[in-house]
Structure 1
Amino acid sequence: MSVMIKNVGIVGAGQMGCGIAHVCSLAGYKVTLYDLSKERIEASLATINGNMARQVTNGKMGDDERKTALSYITGSTDVQDLASMDLVIEAATEDENVKRKIFGQICPVLKPEALLATNTSSLSITRLAAATDRPEQFMGIHFMNPVPVMKLVELVRGIATGEKTFETAKDFVRSLDKTITVAEDFPAFIVNRILLPMINEAIYTLYEGVGSVEAIDTAMKLGANHPMGPLQLADFIGLDTCLSIMQVLHDGLADSKYRPCPLLVKYVEAGWLGRKSGRGFYDYRGEVPVPTR
């Protein structure tokens, strides 16, 4: 038995929120993209339009489909606009305090039967659920980046998540033409529990001088058949996000193998966060990315 979902609210018009809005509107859901910043919403809508236009060019959808999907998305800076939503997905930055604050603001506005989900990539669903007024109707729906391209969604139940909520989330994700993997509520779930220590190890390999940025990325691309080298991938994810996930693993599992590499910490302290800030393990300010070490 699952709940009927027609209207989806998305909190946070960043990279992830933008991608989630894209796939939800294509699947025929009415989407309200909520953010405090009007500029971020406008930038997000422009990105979605551009990404859909590219899908039209590649023959993945028709132009009428694009226009219809875009007409399903409304941007809003007014939290009251979430009142009619059946499902709200929080896609804010990977910071527990920020997420708790958001739940405190949006929960009083939501209708009692509305489901609430978080797109967290590493934080405890049980703990986040406890910060809401509806732990039974709360769960993790973790999309992969870039959302329109990546097929996987991790579903994570907290200790209080109800069966009805879980069934509804499964139906919802399937309707987006995504593949589900169910993970238990432990730090970083499945994908990042395996992926981030690999990236962290690649940074240690650089830190210890075993190989250069280029050598490490080439080795993993051609030696392990990875589509992108681990340092290139770290820049794509954002080094601040990589660091926060490693810290969640280190704090939550108390095992020294999850210790964030000091070089990763140094890059984040420098504000070199990867692609989004123009510099990380590569410098993106010129025509082609150049290794920074």
Structure 2
Amino acid sequence: MSTVHTAAVVGLGTAGTELARRLSGAGIRVIGVEPDAEAAARALRAVASGPVEVTSRVAAVAAADLVLEAVPEPEAAKRAVLTALAGHRRADVPIVTTALSTPVAALADAAPGPLLALRFARADRLDAAELARASDAPDEAVRRVVSTLAAGGVTTHEVPDRPGSLAPGLLLGFLNQAAWMCHDGYVEPEALETAVRLGCGWREGPLGVLAAIGHRTATDILRGLQQRLGERYAPAPLLAGPPVAVPPRPEPVTAAVPEVRTVAVLGSGTMATGIAEVFLRAGHRTLLVARTEEKVAEARAAVEFGLLRTGRATEEVTEALGRWSGHTEVAAVARADLVVEAVVEDLAVKRRIFGELGALCRPGTVLATTTSALSVTACAIASGRPRDVLGLHFFNPAAAMDLVELVRTEHTGESALAAARAVLAAAGKVAVECEDRTGFVVNALLFPYLNDALTALEDPRVRPALLDTVMKSVAGQPLGPTRLLDMVGADVALEVQRKLHENQNQNRGRPVPAPADLLRRLVDRGFLGRKSAGRGVRALLTEEERAGAT
């Protein structure tokens, strides 16, 4: 395998400068090609030390054992530079393009010879990247690129050649939809950042990640993906120019905050018992309504186990359970200050319950639904007292997750909102306020991303292990999408994605795809993930492969 002694980096913007810095730090002589004198000077300052020289002459690449092209994204610009490079590089020297929206196969005619593409999510964290090759690129060229980048501290993962690649395209789709949410005024920027950090486990919020990528870079890539993959990738306006200011919300009418002493929870499942535990921990009298005495007993045991699991002293647990009561009749909620409905995700069932709550509860009692994707407004109207109704979307496990999406409808009164804010703060939760729309903030972003990931898996060259690996290492995700889907449950993902697709009119004309075929197959065949004894995405694909081989 030939050793790279000299590498040419063409284009010394953020990505090119970082590549030059890493390669020169590994002792490789770097020739930087940059016609803009100011950009060249910035690059030299950033690299600071190491064997680097900068020139404006493209012909200088003739001295290189490896050429890396890092000019801005539009295909026309890439094609022009690659054509120029091909006229000067030695015949056996690989050219590596950073084109992301354009497949390397579509650029192969511009640079005959070994051509590969290096794809990454953000240049300021270039520890890992995806590598795709043109069909005629020899294995030796791939080995040369991989070993050279490894010397510079960049781990590469070979992936199929496709627009957006894997991790960068999936990440940018998520980020762009988040930017559209802010542009639409659906959620405030700070609330969006908080929701994704806490709800998805990100270190930074999506707007922070977009700023790190660069608005111009993101816009150029998204425009290319829009041309190849459709209108879903149309860049949000705040990326195309200065950030769009979100109009401030009107100052709330000053109102006394209703005191919440007693909280009632309807339901006995995992979410209901977790929410009951949250309010017991916060010192509230808490009652839970289940269908049967057996369910009540199971709910109490679950709450007690949750309290003990936190390491609380036996005396504290005993004291907390002294504020607990279980019931089988909905009428028990009549004495509550806050009622939290946490029953099955069926709108007809929820509407019936809210009709009962509207009649049972005294005026001013706050009525909340924990739905993750259904209409809060429909529940509010069914209650007959919509000013008292809002959404409190807890995340699972409710006792451990800090985030709660506080969903207001056009009818929700300030008194109910104030009470909800106060009770969540007292319970140590972080409330992110948003309007009533399918999926709210986190799920409206997360489930289309998971759906896109499953669509990528329909390519037999993309395996779940590869997809999860690149999403973690290249896109910086805390968990790969197939593992995350198995945790959430394919049935939940299918239902939420179906509702997002059915209600895509809420998306201001931007399309929301129907559930992926693979997602439907997972549910139809009972491969739901963790809830089906571990039968999830990998198991189904393995079974289908075996069936296809026989």
Deviation at 1:210, TM superposition (A): 4.5
TM-superposition CA deviations, 1:31-85 (whole Å, max 9, x none)? 11112143333333222222222210xxxx4332222223322222111211111
Structure 2: how far apart are the matches of 1:266 and 1:97?
27
> Is residue 17 of structure 1 aligned with residue 265 of structure 2?
no
TM-superposition CA deviations, 1:190-245 (whole Å, max 9, x none)? 11111111111122122333522333233323333333322222222222221121
Contact preservation (8 Å) 1:125, 1:139: yes
- The residue correspondences of 1:65-80 to structure 2 (distance < 5 A) are 65-80=316-331
AA aligned to 1:49 is: E
> Is residue 54 of structure 1 aligned with residue 309 of structure 2?
yes
Question: Which residue of 38, 42, 59 corresponds with 2:297?
Answer: 42
Contact preservation (8 Å) 1:144, 1:150: yes
Contact preservation (8 Å) 2:357, 2:383: no
AA aligned to 2:353 is: I
- The residue correspondences of 1:1-293 to structure 2 (distance < 5 A) are 1-56=256-311, 61-254=312-505, 256-281=511-536, 291-293=539-541
TM-score scaled by length of structure 2: 0.49
Q: Give me the identity figure in percent.
A: 35
Contact preservation (8 Å) 2:354, 2:382: yes
Q: Which residue of 2 aligns with 1:286?
A: none
AA aligned to 2:314 is: D
AA aligned to 2:496 is: I
TM-score scaled by length of structure 1: 0.88
Question: Which 5+ residue runs of structure 2 have no aligned equivalent?
Answer: 1-255, 542-550
AA aligned to 2:261 is: K
Q: Which residue of 2 aligns with 1:285?
A: none
Structure 2: how far apart are the matches of 1:248 and 1:281?
22
Deviation at 1:266, TM superposition (A): 2.1
Would the alpha carbon gap of residues 85 and 144 (structure 1) be closer, same or farther in structure 2, given more than 3 Å must change? same
SS in 1 for 2:373: coil
SS in 2 for 1:131: helix
Larger RCO (CA under 8 A, 6+ residues apart): 1
Structure 2: how far apart are the matches of 1:153 and 1:145?
10
Deviation at 1:135, TM superposition (A): 0.2
Contact preservation (8 Å) 1:21, 1:31: yes
Contact preservation (8 Å) 2:333, 2:360: yes
SS in 1 for 2:503: helix
Alignment length (residue pairs): 282
Structure 1: how far apart are the matches of 2:337 and 2:430?
22
Q: What is the root-mean-square deviation of aligned Cα atoms in Å?
A: 2.0
AA aligned to 1:43 is: E
Would the alpha carbon gap of residues 99 and 209 (structure 1) be closer, same or farther in structure 2, given more than 3 Å must change? farther
Structure with larger Rg:
2
Deviation at 1:256, TM superposition (A): 4.2
SS in 1 for 2:339: strand
Would the alpha carbon gap of residues 207 and 65 (structure 1) be closer, same or farther in structure 2, given more than 3 Å must change? farther
